[in-house]
Homo-oligomer: A and B are copies of this chain.
Amino acid sequence: MGQEIPKIIIGRLPLYLRVLRRLKNEGKVYASSQELGKLLDISAAQIRKDLSHFGELGKRGTGYEVNFLIDKLDKILNIDKVWNIAVVGAGDVGHALARYNGFLNRGFKVAAIFDSDPHKIGTKVRDLVIKDVKEIKDVIQEKNILIAVVATPASAAQEVTDHLVENGIKAILNYAPIYLKVPKNVHIEHIDPAIHLQKLSYYLG
């Protein structure tokens, strides 16, 4: 303990959590590393080693108690509460995110959505009013938002990002097809479907 946990391990924890939630739903009380591994195509040894970074979470002979492990992972990933997040860009992606039902029971709630288009500002997505990007500062302060999603066109993404960072955002999920520069104390993840498709097409040669 006390050790810095490698990023690659952190990246697997949400996968473990997702499958555990499913098992819980199916009424399962215990799960072995072998069983989890089979459901995730990850070796049982790796799962055990990953989890062992956070203490002795399993019981020898029995496996991992599903509910206990879910709670533990929730705490580790800091999603034992719900984070308010902001979405910038009310295009198709912004709309899809604002309307997505899957966030709430996984630790997040879209609490604000912004755009710069006067035609969109003031209209609603679900029960959320699209606000002017100029209001970002006030809103994220008021709603205590630390996580934002950038869902603007590539041309606006860096500028929006800088603005978010200036106003205290500490983590960004970026859907714009461009690499965003952020200070190293700000964390960032990227989603670009074309990138994934290109990885796939390589293997179809």
Contacts and interface: CB of A to CB of B under 8 A. Distances in A.
A146 interface: yes
Report the interface size class on chain A.
35 or more
Interface in A70-94: 76-79, 83, 85, 92-93
Contact of A204 (B10, B11, B78): B78
A18 to B, nearest CB: 6
A62 interface: no
A193 interface: yes
Q: What 6 pairs between A and B have smallest CB-CB spacing?
A: A92-B96, A171-B200, A14-B198, A189-B196, A106-B194, A14-B195
Interface of A: 10-11, 13-15, 17-19, 22, 39-41, 76-79, 83, 85, 92-93, 95-97, 99-100, 102-103, 106-108, 146-147, 149, 170-173, 177-179, 187-189, 191-205
Stoichiometry, copies per complex: 2
B179 A200 contact: no
A19 B190 CA distance: 14
29 contacts: A13-B202, A14-B194, A14-B198, A15-B195, A17-B198, A18-B192, A19-B179, A39-B179, A76-B202, A78-B201, A79-B198, A83-B197, A92-B95, A92-B96, A92-B100, A96-B96, A103-B197, A107-B197, A107-B198, A107-B201, A108-B197, A146-B204, A172-B200, A173-B196, A187-B200, A189-B196, A189-B199, A189-B200, A191-B191
